[in-house]
Structure 1
Amino acid sequence: MLQQIADGYGQQRRSPVMHTPAELGLDYENVTFPSRDGVPLEGWFIPAAGSNRLIIANHPLGFSRSGLPTQFEPWHSQWAPSGNGFEINFIPDYKILHDAGYNVLAYDLRNHGFSGAANGGIASGGIFEARDVVGSLQYARSRAETRDMAIGLFSRCLGCSSTFSAMAQFPEAFNDVRCLVAPQPVSTQIIMQRRLALAGVAAERIKDLEQRIILRTGLGFAARNPREWAKHVCIPTFLYQVHDDILTQPSDVQTMFDNIPIAEKQLLWIYGTTARWDGYVEFQRRPQPMLEWFAQYMS
């Protein structure tokens, strides 16, 4: 089991792009652009007529820009035991943003969806994926329709960690980014500890797992640390998280929030569930707090 987990970090399983914006009546354009280090990234540009505001969407680990088909194998067996066996479809998110007056750029991170392979296919927890976040900003600033738009970020899970990491590595890229909405960032060590506990594996085996991950990727838990990267956050940031998420601990996100060094920040807890996936559909169920955050800083 430990080796299977480590192998998953060494060769990230791709989620297919199962849906398109057309399913909800949205016009869109297939786009491709390079990451900061040249990796080809694939995405959608969803225009909102008359709008000068753009939201760039970054997805969670193992997902694609369209979500994750967790109702199907092999994803169902992996996630159903923790209560996360239902599909995540992100197209309704883009519909909500579009109808609120935002253009949307949604894309696949490296080694995900249709985007290019890089770094041997490993999942780095945001270290290398940070270059994709910067690449999306560079693309938005170079595209004729979007270069003068106000930019906000909607960065989920790995997308959030990658955004934090990008702020630590490339702070100049965020000089004119207005704000960030960031659902459910998580530290690799924390989620791995919880997964082992749910599987009945002794807690001390986490050291064995980390060694196996290092042997597959060259990166241990200390290197994959969004709590430290949060100290470099430089734009107004709205975090939200399932408080009793069985795959993490409240203290993880609380520490990230506390480490953000600016006053313009907010943390919203979601109660009444232990399913992490409920945090990913929170925006579809109750979008108002997030839309208010975007409106406040992108007007």
Structure 2
Amino acid sequence: MTEGTTNEAPRLSNDHINDVLQQFADRFGQPQRSPVLHSPSEQNLDYEDVTFPSLDGVPLEGWFIPAAGSNKLIIANHPMGFSRSGIPTQFEPWHSRWAPSGNGFEVNFIPDYKILHDAGYNVLTYDLRNHGFSGAANGGIVSSGIFEARDVVGALQYMRNRDGTRDMTIGLFSRCLGCNATFSAMTQFPEAFNEVHCLVGIQPVTPQIILAHHLALAGVPANRIEDLEQYIVLRTGIGFSRTDAREWAKHVHIPTFLSQVHDDVLTQPSDVQTMFDNIPIAEKKLQWVYGTTARWDGYLEFQRRPEPMLEWFEQYLS
């Protein structure tokens, strides 16, 4: 069950608005790490704790979950502020931050890996830099995909150089920040994807849009988005124009399945629709998730209704 959102935004003083803008910039620039609370053992999955370098050497931590006799591999990453195991939004401080948008419930990704494993896929899942157990880098900031793109490439290189996996057929399962990072990696390092067969992308988002919706829920006037950007630039050195996933989508050249909660209160349908339209190939599909306004339901869609995404993987990894 999802939590309802508040329809009437509070009225804030200018000083309070400035405090809110600073808090948003701090949390967006360097979100608190979510712990790795769950393990594949909870689903009776054999797994290996692995560590490998990102393209620029940042140590990344993950799990390799083998599927006996399979030559197919899914590499999975996660949204901003999550870890490879999900996010404990039922607990503080995450609950207070996310409950106002209707996302005050836990997301546990372990069932996703069980579904993929049982469908015959080996799975590598890892924490992006500055998340989970992976290393700190770039001053601890989250770059909405610019630096995290190096993690995507590092995971591909690790699997291609590891005994037993180097010849596997690869698909990507990239979520939110992880999907933005994948789009960014395809823009920066297109040669890394020559032998990647397909992508399932869960709820990529343009940072400016999701932050504008956060401001609206907090009662901050829409015209203060420019002030928020200034706070973020002072915090990270990165403005909105450098993190536009809609532009990065123009560099996606592998079969791509995108999924998004249509009425997500933290974004708008036109954002993912534009990304989808900008992908310059015919082998693509956009799935809308209806009946909820909670973004977290989009992350749980695979474990609730895996068939469409599994069919995509089966079509392009067979």
The SS at the match of 1:219 is: coil
Q: Partner amino acid for 2:69?
A: G
Q: Partner residue of 1:279?
A: 298
List per-residue Cα deviations over 1:51-107 (Å, max 9, x = no partner). Answer: 000000010000000000000000000000111000000000000000000000000
Q: Is residue 280 of structure 2 the alignment partner of residue 268 of structure 1?
A: no
Q: Deviations over 1:25-59 (max 9, x none)?
A: 00000000000000000000000000000000010
Matches within 5 A, 1:13-24: 13-24=32-43
CA–CA distance in 1 between the matches of 2:33 and 2:219?
Answer: 27
How big is the shift at 1:11?
Answer: 2.5
Displacement after TM superposition at 1:12 (Å): 2.8
1:127 aligns with 2:146: yes
The residue that corresponds to 1:174 in the other structure is: 193
Query: Are the counterparts in 2 of residues 6 and 209 from structure 1 also a CA contact under 8 Å?
Result: yes
Q: Does residue 70 of the first structure (1) align with residue 108 of the second (2)?
A: no
2:159 maps to 1:157: no
Do residues 290 (structure 1) and 309 (structure 2) align?
yes
After TM superposition, the structure 1 = structure 2 runs for residues 1-299 of structure 1, keeping only pairs within 5 Å, are 1-299=20-318
Rg comparison, structure with higher value? 2
SS in 1 for 2:241: coil
Give the deviation of 1:239 after TM superposition. 0.2
Amino acid at match of 1:158: L
1:130-189 Cα distance to aligned partner (Å, 9 max, x none)? 000000000000001110000000000001000000000000000000000001000000
Q: Which runs of 5+ in 1 are unaligned?
A: none
TM-score by length of 1: 0.99
Q: Aligned with 2:240: secondary structure?
A: coil
CA displacement, residues 222-246 of structure 1 (integer Å, 9 cap, x when unaligned): 1111000000001000001000000
Query: Which amino acid counterpart does residue 100 of structure 2 have in structure 1?
Result: P
C-alpha distance after superposition, 1:241-262 (max 9, x if no partner): 0000000000000000000001
- The runs of at least 4 aligned residues of structure 1 exceeding 3 Å deviation read none
Q: How far apart are the structure 2 equivalents of 1:242 and 1:230?
A: 19
Shifted more, 68-77 versus 11-20: the winner is 11-20
Counterpart secondary structure, 1:116: coil
> How many Å separate the matches in 1 of 2:146 and 2:217?
27
RMSD of equivalent CA atoms: 0.5
- C-alpha deviation, 1:9, in angstroms: 3.0
Amino acid at match of 1:159: G
Structure 2 residue matching 1:109: 3-state secondary structure: coil
Moved more, 2-11 or 48-57: 2-11
The separation in 1 between residues aligned to 2:115 and 2:29, in whole angstroms, is: 35
- The one-letter amino acid of 2:87's match is L
What's the CA shift for 1:7? 1.2
Superposition deviation, residue 10 in structure 1: 3.2
TM-score by length of 2: 0.93
Equivalent pair of 1:9/1:217 in contact (CA under 8 Å): no
Aligned residues: 299
> SS of 1:281's equivalent?
helix
**What is the percent sequence identity of the aligned residues?**
80
List runs of 5+ in structure 2 lacking aligned partners: 1-19
In the alignment, the residues of structure 1 paired with residue 215 and residue 28 of structure 2 have an alpha-carbon distance, to the nearest angstrom, of 15
Which amino acid in structure 2 is aligned with residue 210 of structure 1? E
**Contact conserved, 1:56 with 1:136, CA < 8 A, in 2?**
yes
